Structure 1
Amino acid sequence: MKEDPTSLSKHEIQILIDQLKTKDLFIDSGTEGIGIAENGIILLINKQLVKMFGYDSPDELIGQPIINYISPQSRKLVALKLTENLTKPYESFFKRKDGSEFPGLIFARNAKFTKKIVRIATIRDITDFYDSRKMLESSENRYRSLFNQIPVTIWEEDASELLKSSRELGLENIDNLDDYLDKNPDIIRKLISKIHIVNVNETALDLLNLRDKETLVNLLPQFFSSNSLIAFKKVIIAITGNKTYFESESEFINKNGEKIDIHFIWSVVPGYEKTYSKIISIITDITSRKKVELERKEMDSRYQQIQKLESLGTFAGSIAHDFNNLLMGILGNANLALNQIDPASPIVGLLKEIEEVANKASNLTKQLQAYSGKGKITKELFNLNDLIKEMQGFIKMTIPSEVKIATNLSKTAPWIEADRAQVKQIIINLLINASESMDDKGTISLKTFHITKETLDDHLGLMILHPKNSAYFTCLEIIDTGKGIEHKLKRKIFDPFYSNNSKGKGLGLSVVQGIIKGHEGGLLLDTRINEGTSFKILFPLSVNFRSLINDEKPEIKDSHMVSGSKIMVIDDEPVVLSVACKLLRKIGFDPIAAVDGYEAINIFHEKSDIKLVILDLTMEKISAQQTFSELRKLNPKLPIVISSGFSRNEVFQQFGIEEKMEFLQKPYSISELEQIILSLI
């Protein structure tokens, strides 16, 4: 086989070795392996390289192609590098004798020797460095995976430019920086632009509904609300004050324009306290939590409001009760005096004035009880249409002439069982409220119709009061064309003394609500801004009176007075007890007075011919319920009238429905007393 003319002879190789040794370029000490090759064939190799490749002798490698000792994954790269005259250090994987591989760093260059080109390479085993780097890369990958997948928004920021600009503006010398920035919001916006977003994780993009970091960086100001500026103001103050940590709450606006409540922790990475060039912000979406907190706060507020109204109602009812007892003495004595005095006497006028004032005072207590939902309800059957027609003249006097009143009354007569005076109060209060909401100009419509339980849900609006369970309802609807009611005020307008109109006193709607509550009715509110408001009042229609829909009015029965009958009055108020006995005596009965339940029971043991008992609801020594029970044990059929300054509802809540039992509200007149007695004996 003919020798390649470009190859070095053995003699030339030996000369090359001697020259390299002379120049300390080829030695057999140290950790680096050195090899010389020509045309990709190994010519010379030192002991370190032999050992590095796992061989025993250089002869095992000399004369072999370099490529045999290169890992398949690096062969393409090495083949390319062999064509270069002088290469920069590069990494490659080499193959040992046993087949294992190791990473190495190659330093290689071409050299001319006896007019021929050889390749001189130094190889350094970098296994330890490679393993460390691999561990570092693995750690970085784990960090990046954690950074992107953690369900908390993380921002890496560089605020070094912000720090520089704040110093140029001299912010660190301003005493009240918080107040200064509030007065100069443009400075906040300017400094915000100096914050550089270095990196954000995937959760940050999801929070703002974005696809990439570039969009966030380029459009960052668009995601800020006015509250965001407050948070950034805190960042500026923190940096200016050399703080490295704080946390606060703020909000963002996402790509869809939705508000997002956030909690963020702002912290300077240790080692960057002087430059603020590396800051980590951890942001948590607390929108759901804020919503729950708001709902809980609204519920707490509503609960407190209910408690406040109940307390106020109880207080109003107590005042009305005590006041009614006082009025009993005034009205009762005025009644008696008028019945005994000569009609021609000049004192008659004075007594009638006393009676009139007492009745007005009684009406005032009815208003208090109506507000509390505990007012005296004197129910009667009447046609709601007829009542509205009767009120036309009064309505015209009450409502400004610029307001048009339109009626759409049911052709099927809507009979209701209610307190006539209180229903009038509902209508007047709602008409005044409607007129004021329209600035005394516009149209108010009054409608009457029937609703069944099945169709109740078809009527839109907020159910302020739920009616008692009934199959049928008579509905009174009052509609205005006013400015409507804001959502947040829908329930507040029924609070006592609340009014969003300078003309209002804030009692009209609270009284309406109390009256409807006392009638166990329903109240439905439907309102739209700049369109108007509708109030629907639902009166439950009992089974006994459904026939009234066909205009059938029930028969009213009469009774005859039984004079001389013994009637016991039990009351711990001396004035009330005295007046009641005088009234009974005046209408022909024989009154027996008892100051408490104990005395009444003792008297009843002695006088079993007592025909009826008038029993005060609230007594100290022995309760009305206990007295009632003991008397009924003595005479199970004894008629008993419960009398009180409280309402009928209070009585039936305590006693339930008992046979031969009626209720008489204080103050009562001589005719009211006579009528209720005649209905029982």
Structure 2
Amino acid sequence: MTGTKQRPTPQVVACVVYVLLHLAADASATFFQVAPGISLWYPPAGLALSLLLLLGIRYAPIVFAANVASALLTSGFHVWWAPFLFPLLITLNYSGAAWLMTRYGSGGLMPDSRDRAFTFASIILGAPALLAFVGTGVLIPLGYASASDLIHSSLRWWIGDVSGLLTVVPLALVFAGPLINPEARARRVPWLRTLREVSLFGVEMLVLLACLGLVFEFGPLRNYNAFYLCFLPLIWICIRHGLPGATIATLLVTMGGMIGMHITGSTTYLIINFLLFQLAVAVVGLGLGTAVTRRSEAERELAASESRFERVIDGAQLGLWDWNIARNRVSFNARWSAITGLPASGPTSDFAGWASLVHPMDRDRFSAALHEHLEGRSALIEVAYRIRTRDNHVRWMIARGSTVARDANGRPLLVSGTHTDITETRLAEAETHRLLNIIEANTDFIATADTAGELLYANASLRSLLAQLGARTTADRRLSELFAPRSARILQAEAMPAAAESGFWHGELILVGAAGKDLPVSIVLLPHREAESDGVTFSLIMRDISRQRQAEAERIEGERKMLQVQKLESIGVLAGGIAHDFNNLLTAIMGNASLARLDLPENIQANAALTQIEGAAERAAELCQQMLAYAGRSPLAFSTVNLSDLIDQTTQLLQISLHKNTTLDLRLQRPVASVKADATQLRQIIMNLVINASEAIGERVGRILVRTESRYFDQPELRANFEDQDVPAGDYVLVEVEDNGSGMPAEIRQHIFEPFFTTKFTGRGLGLAAVLGIVKAHRGAIQVSSESGQGTVFRVIIPAYGANASTPPATASRPAAAMRQGLVLVVDDEESVRAVVARTLESLGFRPIVASDGVEGVECVTRDLKALSFVLLDLVMPRMDGHDAFTAIRRIAPDLPVILMSGFSEKLSLERFADAKPTAFISKPFARDALTRCLERAGLPKAS
């Protein structure tokens, strides 16, 4: 397995380098030694203090160990404890100095203020003095110094340590400090970045050494101790290179002077002069270098600050302006020029030029804001205005500023501030205002609420609804108060979570409307994430769909009615078709039975069978008539009828039809309006309704109420009570049949008028169906009210005579045509009908010919026109029906009598014959006697 080598920390490297340099510097200090342990230049003192300043006094053991090692290697003490005592004194002394400099100085860095510089100098000068005095005092008992020489020896010790401190400590702090201390590394000024700068610095050092060499080698200069010549290159170096150059120059002067004195020889006077010069060089060089470095750092920080300020201004897109009131000059920065497209100086360099760019509608407000501030009535200028740019566009600006300089009397001299382009903001505000106006004018209910359901906003429509509910404001209103309880639960528990998850929810809920009435709404729910609180709010768009629902309900009801009408019409067509076909069959049965009776003696038993056949056929014909009545195709014989009299005349028949425990109660209005109707069919209506009521009561004791009344019915009442039937407002005669029987549930009530629907075991399901058909044929309406166990009420209305009634068209009789021959044409698609009618005509003395449809009938008329006496024409036939055949016959023979045959009513059958009417009409089924009567009414005598 391979592993990465861990690099030593800067602290470890510093300690190792310190020990090596300490041993080397201590060995070289013997070169300048004037007594045991006393040297005129002692660099290890500077190294010890530098290490403790850079790493802290916790590294004092390293200093103690290095001093013990150097004492054992280089000193010649004859007592064993001396090599440990002096290192201990040195360690304690400089540890205290380092603590004081860290506590009250610059924190291990070169001083950056006057107070810190004083502290730094005091400790540099004071700490060696204490150590020198104590150390010399220890040397006296050991015999290395005399008591009389205490001051002199202490001074030399002090000079050596001070020179070592002044040359080594600044150098270590400047060059080694940034490698260990992050703060110092961040503040370090780049130095000697190019080869040219290195070369020039080398030349400057050589000039400094040359000046120092001249002093030692040139006699007159040496005699006068002209060390001040070195100040010229020293100052030059300090000004050009700051503190780094000053520390190197100070070290170079010290080492060069020490070496020069050692080589050329020295006197006490020369040594003292040089040491004083060395102190001056250190103070001047380090002070000047520090000042230059601090200036460079300040300039760099200022440039960085200005650059940062420009970045902030550019990033914030702020324009700057200064208004010098005294000189009436206005200056702008580049951002202002970028916004307006105008130069920062020129026509706008005075206040009038600036104001001329302001939109005319905003100038008064702009000037008022400025003067209000200048007069001291506002602390800040803040005014929004429009400005016209160079390309003639209008931009919105907001100017903010205040007075930054005043004269002795407090009058403003300089006003400065910023301006911001707020065009997009103003456009957004205008758009927001426009949308808000749209929302306020919207007839939909629009609201905003928080997740707790607290109402935050409501538009005008919703506020109007809230006002109807008694709320004056939307404050403290909750959504749950707007909705019906179930809708409020759905909104809170389902809609809001779903919208928060998917971003949208749509549904239909119920609002509480005015007077507590339910108000159905279609609702769209949208969530919004709030930037300030990171919470969620919801916007609700609610549209009133009550009219839509009402229209939908009306549409469904209309469709239901239409389906019911279509259903009844379809059943009616079916019933009419069945009745028509049955009538054809019954015509053959009844006709053949009557013909057979003619051929048999009266006393034969077969006559009884024929009588039963004819009776059954007549009953079948009655069923067909009921089916035709439901289909609205039964024959009607209109006359003026008094319904109260009609019911009164039918009382005995009604009583016979009732169960013995049922009482008939008649409440007949007298006088009552007459109706134009078929009395027989109206009697059938009364009989069917009363019999049904009696059967509903059964064997129980019951009562049937029959009531008549004539009155006016308006349209709302008709729609409310006869909603499925289209009858106009007007005067009607009401017939009401009420019982206290078992009643009917809704599922039965909705089918009772359908043919063949019955709840009776033996019923045929045609009674009420026929009632409905008869009522419709009389342009009336019927309505039933019933509940299980509550009895039943039938209400029938028939238009009063003279109101919504018309007399059916009468069939005009025509005189008998002159009979040329006894030839009669029978046209019918049913073979059995053709055969029985032909035989009946033969029995009457006519000579019949037959045709199976209208086409054959027209051909026969064309062929036998001169011989024909009249035509019996069926109405419903294939290929060519009775109407088309009649029209064709009238074109061929306008005077030829034509008798129309049909299983439908005369009125319905003759409706299609608008221009010319048939000679007569006969309803199927018919027998020989009925045909004879029809011929007589038509004026057609029997053939001979």
* TM-score category of the 2 structures, normalised to the smaller one: 0.5 to 0.7
What TM-score does the superposition give when structure 2 sets the normalisation length? 0.49
Q: Is residue 2:665 matched to residue 1:405?
A: yes
The answer to whether 1:580 aligns with 2:837 is yes
Shift of 1:30: 8.0
Deviation at residue 327 of structure 1 after TM alignment? 1.7
State the 1:466 CA deviation.
6.5
SS at match of 2:635: coil
Aligned to 1:65: none
Is the Cα–Cα contact under 8 Å of residues 323 and 416 in structure 2 kept in the other structure? no
Aligned length: 552
- Secondary structure of the 1:461 match is helix
Offset of residue 319 of structure 1: 1.6
TM-superposed CA distance for 1:367, in Å, is: 1.7
1:326 corresponds to 2:585: yes
Q: Contact (CA 8 Å) 2:505, 2:526: kept in 1 or not?
A: yes
Distance change in 2, residues 1:75/1:442 (3 Å): farther
Closer/same/farther in 2, CA of residues 224 and 124 from structure 1, 3 Å limit: farther
Between 665-674 and 599-608, report the one with greater CA deviation: 599-608
State the distance in 2 between where 1:622 and 1:376 align. 24
Match of 1:641 in 2: 899
Letter in 1 for 2:853: D
Pairwise CA distance, 1:509: 4.7
Q: Report the Cα offset of residue 677 of structure 1.
A: 0.9
CA distance in 1, matches of 2:758, 2:326: 94
Equivalent residue for 1:593, pick from 827, 842, 850: 850
1:625 to 870, 873, 883: 883
The aligned counterpart of 1:389 is 648
The structural deviation recorded for 1:134 is: 6.9
Q: 1:153 aligns with which of 423, 442, 445?
A: 445
AA of the residue aligned to 1:157: A
Does 2:466 align with 1:200? no
Aligned partner of 2:582: which letter? Answer: F
Which has the larger share of helix?
2
1:444 has 2:444 as partner: no
Amino acid in structure 2 at the alignment position of 1:679: R
Q: Relative to structure 1, is the Cα distance of residues 459 and 293 closer, same or farther in structure 2, using a 3 angstrom cutoff?
A: closer
Task: Check whether the contact 1:266–1:282 (CA below 8 A) recurs between aligned residues.
Answer: yes
| Structure 1 SS opposite 2:904 | coil
Pairing of 1:413-424 with structure 2 (within 5 A): 414=674, 416-418=676-678, 420-424=679-683
- Show the counterpart of 2:420: 128
The residue identity in structure 2 corresponding to 1:405 is D
Match of 1:377 among 631, 636, 651: 636
Distance in 2, Cα, partners of 1:399 & 1:262: 56
CA shift in 2, pair 1:105/1:133, >3 Å: farther
CA 467–254 in structure 1, closer or farther in 2 if over 3 Å, else same: closer
Q: Do the aligned partners of 2:751 and 2:757 also contact (CA within 8 Å) in 1?
A: yes
Q: What is aligned with 2:864?
A: 606
Kindly tell me: are residues 512 and 128 of structure 1, through their superposed partners in 2, closer, same or farther at Cα, counting changes over 3 Å? same
Whether the 8 Å CA contact 1:406–1:446 is kept in 2: the answer is yes
Q: CA deviation at 1:235?
A: 0.8
> What is the aligned counterpart of 2:824 among 561, 564, 567?
567
Deviates more, 1:572-581 or 1:652-661: 652-661
Distance 2:667 2:561 in 1: 36
Q: Give the conservation status (yes or no) of the 8 Å contact 1:268–1:276.
A: no
Q: Does the CA-based 8 Å contact 1:474-1:541 persist in structure 2?
A: no
Identity of aligned residues (%): 23
Following superposition of structure 1 onto structure 2, how do residues 61-140 of structure 1 map, counting pairs within 5 Å? Answer: 71=370, 91-92=380-381, 104=400, 125-128=417-420
2-structure distance, mates of 1:363, 1:120: 119
Question: Residue 349 in 1 paired to residue 608 in 2?
Answer: yes
TM-score of the pair, normalised by structure 1: 0.65
Structure 1 residues 668 and 399, CA gap change in structure 2 (3 angstroms): same
Q: Which amino acid aligns with 1:217?
A: R
Cross-structure match for 1:537: 798
Letter in 1 for 2:589: I
1:235 corresponds to which letter in structure 2?
A: A
1:365 matched to 2:661: no
State the alpha-carbon separation in 2 of the partners of residues 139 and 544 from structure 1: 67
CA gap 1:498/1:348 in 2 versus in 1, 3 angstroms: closer
| Contact 2:633–2:908 (Cα < 8 Å) also in 1 | yes
Alpha carbons of 1:267 and 1:342: their partners in 2 closer, same or farther (altered >3 Å)?
same
Whether contact under 8 Å (2:398, 2:420) holds in the other structure is no
Q: Does 1:300 align with 2:573?
A: no
Query: Helix, strand or coil for the counterpart of 2:502?
Result: coil
Q: Is the 8 A contact 1:225 1:253 kept in 2?
A: no
8 A Cα contact 1:335 1:669, kept in partner:
yes
Residue 369 of structure 1, CA deviation? 1.3
Secondary structure of the 1:328 match is helix
Identify which of 503, 516, 526 aligns with 1:267.
Answer: 526
Per-residue deviation at 1:576? 0.6
Q: What whole-Å deviation, never above 9, does each CA across 1:269-291 have from its counterpart, x for those lacking one?
A: 2679x977122222222223333
Give the match for residue 180 of structure 1.
Answer: none
How far off is 1:222 after superposition? 5.6
Give matches, 1:232-271, under 5 Å: 234-235=494-495, 238=498, 242-269=501-528
Cα-to-partner distance string for 1:157-196 (whole Å, 9 max, x where unaligned) = 322xxxxxxxxxxxxxxxxxxxxxxxxxxxxxxxxxx433
Equivalent residue letter for 1:475: V
Q: Whole-Å Cα distance in 2 between the matches of residues 381 and 432 of structure 1?
A: 25
Correspondence for 1:221: 481
Deviations, residues 319-357 of structure 1 (Å, cap 9, x unaligned): 211121122222222222334333433333332222222
Structure 1: distance between partners of 2:493 and 2:474: 24
Larger Rg, first or second structure (1 or 2) = 2
* Partner Cα separation in structure 2 for residue 291 and residue 459 of structure 1: 17
1:51 maps to which of 324, 347, 350: 324
Distance of 2:493 and 2:759 partners within structure 1: 39
The one-letter amino acid paired with 1:321 is: H
The 2-side partners of 1:677 and 1:637 are apart by 16
- CA distance change for structure 1 residues 234 and 341 in 2, over 3 Å: closer, same or farther? farther
SS state at 1:373 partner: coil
Provide structure 1 residue ranges, at least 5 long, that are not aligned to the other structure: 1-23, 32-46, 58-67, 82-89, 95-100, 109-117, 160-193, 547-555
Offset from partner CA, 1:463-505 (integer Å, 9 cap, x none): 6767799xx988353254889x99x99x967852699999999
Deviation at 1:383, TM superposition (A): 6.0
Aligned AA for 2:324? K
Give how far 1:633 is off. Answer: 3.8
CA contact (8 A) 2:626 2:767 kept: no
1:496 to 754, 761, 774: 754
SS in 1 for 2:514: coil
SS of structure 1 residue aligned to 2:603: coil
Q: Counterparts of 2:765 and 2:491 in 1: how far apart (Å)?
A: 40
Structure 1 residue 626, shift from structure 2 partner: 3.3
Residue identity opposite 2:708 in structure 1 = K
Distance verdict in 2 for CA 1:56–1:196, change over 3 Å: closer
Instruction: Specify the code of the residue in structure 2 equivalent to 1:387.
Output: L
Letter in 2 for 1:156: T
Pick closer, same or farther for the CA change 1:288–1:225 going to 2, 3 Å: farther
Q: Letter of the 2:654 partner, please give it.
A: I
For the Cα contact (< 8 Å) 1:523–1:538, is it kept in 2? Answer: no
Aligned partner letter, 1:429? N
